Amino acid sequence: MRLDPADTHLALEYAFLCFEARDDASARKAEARRIFLRVRDTTSDAELRATAAQAFRNIDEPLQTGIARWQQVLATSTPTFSAHFELAQLCEQRDELALAAANYLAAFRLLPERKSVLLDLARVETARSNPEGAVSALLAASRGGEPRAAELAREQLPQRYPYVYEFRKALELDPKNAVLRRELAYLLLSMSSKNEGLREEAEQEFQRALTAAPEDYLAAVQLGLLYLEDHREADAMPLLNNVLAHADPATANRARMALHMPLLLEERSKTDNIVDPRLLAERSFNAGFLKDALRFYTQAREENPVDSSVALKLGWTNNMLHDDDTALRWFNIARHSADPKVADEASKAWHNLRPSRQRVRTTVWVYPLFSTRWSDLFGYGQVKTEFRIGKLPLRPYASVRYVGDVRRLTSEVLRQSLSESAFIFAGGVVTQPWHGGLAWFEAGGAVSYIRNEHWRDIRGGISFSRSRGASLGGDATGPFAETTFDGVFVSRFSNDEINGSQTKVGYTTAVGPLRVQPFWAANFFFDLNRQYWATFVETGPGLRFHPPGAPKPVSVTVAAMHGVYLINEGNPRRPNFNDVRIGVWYAFTK
């Protein structure tokens, strides 16, 4: 029907199916009524118009009668959950959305244990273009209460952590939701490290949580700890003593640690272990059921919001589910853990992932290279600023490249191919990496810093890289293998496309403070214009190392290569060559 809205036969069939559907029945019947009304008012086919008109009356008249009847019941008798809920469903089916929302809310407040009503309310708020109201209802349903309703609500929430104002709006809907209020309090407490005023707000939320649910011992122990930090022992001790007397061993041990008392052994039966959400999450994660693992880790986090190791697991799980924005948030929480092992692992993950999720990212790289084959020292480098726009697969960027050499022999055509002695200014787009590959394109202009020349420059290409084993920047030693492929179109070189594949196989080890990688390399290059200097194969040994005391991204590569030109037409040199190269690579991202 979306592909061909003018097909009224199909629209009627779809409307009848909607009317009979059992899932989201109220919303489906409302859609059926709208379709029948549209077909009745727009089709020129008399038979279809009559069918749609009759179907519309069959739906609309009973709805109108039912709404009037339930409104009369509510006006003349004590309001009940059933009366408000039935009226809300009828109003939703008749597209009286404001009245439907008001009655779903009234029904929920009469029976707040029925969290599933909040899902109905969220659906209506979405239909009436009130996304904030929908998120508030879903957030309230996702914390505490009916497990199935909570699971469905989590699936519909935005793929990010809720904001403070969304927690507050959800609590306006469900003020007795202790889990929701406690989570808001922990959120405010975590934010108070940057804004001290939020600590007082967090304390107030813990107090409200205890007022609403005096048996909320997690809130009690946290509030007691805050009082102890403020040297308010008279306020803290009644709370902590109540926790010691009535809470489970895990919660009581938090109070014991604060009071420097011996800890209790936590006894768990086999039945307890089976339903432990963290244990279920670990089993699901290890078995590869990542969506189940995410659900159980989320539940474990709600039960114990101070367990940073669960936050770390949530980061890895979301990362493996390709939700890197959410993963980054969890890694950021875990890297502030008091456990040094958790904090170190989370910090590494956060720093590795953060550059790819920044809205603006600047990358700088330089690569000076000396070659005996050309008896020259070349310099290559680039400064590139990328802009991430939402979830678009392409990222625009601005770039400045440098290509130059020491001898500056720009009068020779071949030398210009290796060194243009110019700065190249360009704007372009690059795809997000996918399985080690990406594509890019840019257009701009080049300015020679030797001669008063400038020219248009268009270039683009594809790039692929893959590595296995122990890396030079890691801590482990062992074998490694890496391969790269680049295909680059350059308008400057008679619209040529130069392609190259480079492979290294070797071993990563340490010699004193020096991390080294002896390797064997095999490279293959060719171009579409069949130029001799760009079409060759070569192989030989090499050594790559990280100089002690240098920044981590710095590496030095020394290689001795023997190569053979595959095309010798126009080649003023021998058909084979030897080349010793020394290059220094350095790059960083901000």
**Domain check: are 424 and 507 in the same one?**
yes
**Domain check: are 223 and 334 in the same one?**
no
Residue 215 pLDDT more than 50? yes
Residue 270 pLDDT more than 50? no
**Domain check: are 438 and 542 in the same one?**
yes
**Domain check: are 48 and 27 in the same one?**
yes
For the stretch 445-458, pLDDT in tens is 999 888 788 899 99
- Boundary (domain end) residue, out of 266, 300, 324: 266
For the stretch 502-525, pLDDT in tens is 999 999 998 888 889 999 999 999
**Domain check: are 483 and 382 in the same one?**
yes
Q: What is the pLDDT of residue 271?
A: 41
Query: Which carries the bigger pLDDT value, residue 22 or residue 35?
Result: 35
Q: What is the pLDDT of residue 537?
A: 96
Q: What is the pLDDT of residue 266?
A: 56
- Boundary (domain end) residue, out of 111, 131, 154: 111
Residue 356 pLDDT more than 80? no
* Alpha carbon distance 498, 43 (integer Å): 60
Q: What is the pLDDT of residue 253?
A: 83
What's the chain's average pLDDT?
87
User: What would the mean pLDDT of 2-30 be, rounded to a whole number?
Assistant: 86
* Alpha carbon distance 101, 105 (integer Å): 6
* Alpha carbon distance 270, 350 (integer Å): 36
**Is there a contact between 425 and 444 (Cβ–Cβ < 8 Å)?**
yes
**Is there a contact between 385 and 396 (Cβ–Cβ < 8 Å)?**
no
**Domain check: are 505 and 547 in the same one?**
yes
pTM above 0.75, yes or no: no
Q: What is the pLDDT of residue 415?
A: 45
**Domain check: are 330 and 342 in the same one?**
yes
**Domain check: are 170 and 190 in the same one?**
no
* Alpha carbon distance 208, 203 (integer Å): 9
Query: What residues does 424 pair with on adjacent strands?
Result: 401, 446
Q: Best-predicted range by mean pLDDT among 158-162, 470-474, 476-480?
A: 476-480
Q: Which of 106, 166, 109 is nearest to 142 (CA)?
A: 166
User: What would the mean pLDDT of 72-83 be, rounded to a whole number?
Assistant: 92
For the stretch 136-182, pLDDT in tens is 999 999 987 777 888 888 888 887 888 899 999 999 999 988 888 88
Of the candidate ranges 80-89, 495-504, 508-517, the one whose mean pLDDT is the lowest: 508-517
Q: How many domains does the chain have?
A: 5
* Alpha carbon distance 203, 130 (integer Å): 31
- Boundary (domain end) residue, out of 174, 195, 217: 174
* Alpha carbon distance 547, 555 (integer Å): 7
* Alpha carbon distance 329, 318 (integer Å): 10
For the stretch 372-411, pLDDT in tens is 988 889 999 999 999 988 778 899 999 999 998 876 554 4
**Domain check: are 148 and 57 in the same one?**
no
**Domain check: are 261 and 277 in the same one?**
no
Q: What is the pLDDT of residue 130?
A: 93
User: What would the mean pLDDT of 428-435 be, rounded to a whole number?
Assistant: 89
Q: What is the CATH number of the domain that holds 282?
A: 1.25.40.10
Range of the domain at 71: 1-111
Q: Which of 56, 59, 54, 52 is nearest to 10 (CA)?
A: 52
Two tokens, residue 373: 């084959």
Distance of CA 396 to the CA centre of its chain: 20
**Domain check: are 563 and 450 in the same one?**
yes
**Domain check: are 382 and 240 in the same one?**
no
Q: What is the pLDDT of residue 413?
A: 43
Two tokens, residue 341: 């092992």
Q: What is the pLDDT of residue 282?
A: 84
